Amino acid sequence: MNDLIKKLVEAYGPSGFEDGMRDLIRPEIEAYADEISVDAMGNLIALKKGDGSGLKVMIAAHMDEIGVMVTHVTKKGFLRFTNIGGVYPHTLLGGRVQFSDGTIGVIGCERLTNRSKVHPLSKHYIDVGATSREDCPIGVGDAAGFLRPFTTQGSRLISKAMDDRIGCAIGIETMKRLGSSPHDVYFVFSVQEEVGTRGAIVSANGIDPDVGIALDVTMTGDTPESMAMAVSLGKGPAIKVKDAGMIAHVGLVREMKTRAKEAGIPYQLEVLTGGSTDARSIQIANGGSAAGCLSIPCRYVHSPSEMVDMDDVENSVKLLVEILSKPLDL
């Protein structure tokens, strides 16, 4: 899977600018889908039909990544910017970004008089090598994603945009491995999750699933002086119980735990005190659905070097296949 993961995580695709990501994913899934469509928001939807005895299940992984958008170009050609999604100022200085046309910029900031503090986003800028506003190749409204190569350290995978290209990779690999299923499974590669799960709102309302499972990353509690959280890298996918936006369907959580135990797949339970996923939008679409989330433990979320473990990725695929290949008793 590493070649697929590398291709996805290194690609450009901030929220609202996911066209290139959709073009990357579609060829990977065409041979395994009975139907493929793109809705008005730009969500890529692949239906894998069941035998007619099961439910309508939606699996959602978002294609977009956090990024920045230019708000102003100074007379000397420096770019002021705003955030697209959850961009943290302390991760910015010295980083690089890439625009859709390939232009690369370096993030700088105004002089720090107190080096124990961090400037807000408004005091940062992007330097693309321009000397004036007139010769700057980038303009107001142009969006950029962070630039950082994919690398591995043993079983650890490190890159920008693991959130949530790793979920997309798991969705793709699940489609490839899933044989017969009682369920009609809609694999949705959604847009604009980082700015309010907007794509999932539209796709869930269109599909109207009985059951929804989001594939997304979650934070860990296994680094020095980290937040208290019972999730670690390498100990299995995390079955979400609750986050700031939803309480997962109790029956679905039970079913996911049962399938993991039966197959001997390690798993963890996730209670996240901040943040949410596409599962929230799926849960409350139309008349509602039984929704939950299979989370991939990830260190350094919303930084240019997010880290996951390949064992967790592989076990996420195995667990999802187990869940989708059998009846769901909720």
d(CA 36, CA 49): 11
CB 200 within 8 A of CB 222: no
Residue 216: which of 175, 161, 156 has the closest Cα? 161
Shared-domain flag, residues 232 and 248: yes
Given a contact cutoff of 8 angstroms between Cβ atoms, the answer to whether 148 and 290 are in contact is no
Q: Measuring CA to CA, which residue among 190, 252, 160 is closest to residue 61?
A: 190
Is the domain of 166 the same as that of 180? yes
Instruction: Answer yes or no: 35 catalytic.
Output: no
Per-residue pLDDT at 16: 97
Task: Calculate the average pLDDT of the chain.
Answer: 96
Active-site entry in 193, 255, 270, 306: 193
One domain for residues 51 and 24: yes
- Residue 325 CA to residue 173 CA, distance in Å, equals 14
Look up residue 25 and give its two tokens: 């994913």
- 264: alpha, beta or left, given left = phi > 0 and alpha = psi -120 to 50? left
13 backbone dihedrals φ, ψ, rounded to 5°: 175, 60
CATH of residue 238's domain is 3.40.630.10
What integer pLDDT is reported at residue 115 of this predicted model? Answer: 81
User: What was the pLDDT predicted at 186?
Assistant: 98
Token code pair at residue 230? 């019972």
Residues of the domain holding 17: 2-65+160-324
DSSP 65: B
pLDDT for residue 114:
84
Domain boundary among 111, 146, 181: 146
> What residues of the chain score a pLDDT lower than 70?
none
Look up the pTM and report it.
0.96
Please report the pLDDT score of residue 201 as a whole number: 97
Say if residue 128 is in the same domain as residue 273: no
Burial 169-182, CB ≥16 within 10 A → b, else e: bbbbbbbeebeebb
Report yes or no on 330 lying in a domain: no
Regarding whether 82 and 49 lie in a shared domain, the answer is no
For tokens 């970004």, the residue is 97
Q: How far apart are CA 178 and CA 32, in angstroms?
A: 9
Q: What are phi and psi of 277, to 5 degrees?
A: -140, -175
**Residue of 284, 100, 65, 305 lying closest to 191 (CA atoms):** 65
CATH number of the domain at 83, please.
2.40.30.40
Q: Quick one: 187 and 287 in the same domain?
A: yes
Residue 211 domain-assigned (yes or no): yes
pLDDT tens digits, residue range 222-234?
A: 999 998 999 999 9
What is the secondary structure of 156-183 as a DSSP string? EEEETTHHHHHHHHHHHHHHHH----SS
Query: Nearest-5° angle of CA 191, CA 196, CA 202?
Result: 55
- The answer to whether residue 329 sits within a structural domain is no
One-letter amino acid identity for 101?
A: D
What is the total count of domains within the chain?
2
If asked whether residues 281 and 134 sit together in one domain, one would say no
Same domain, 277 and 259: yes
In this predicted structure, what is the pLDDT of residue 112?
87
In the Cβ-directed half-sphere of 104, how many Cα atoms lie within 13 Å? 5
Which two three-digit tokens encode residue 291? 């929704």
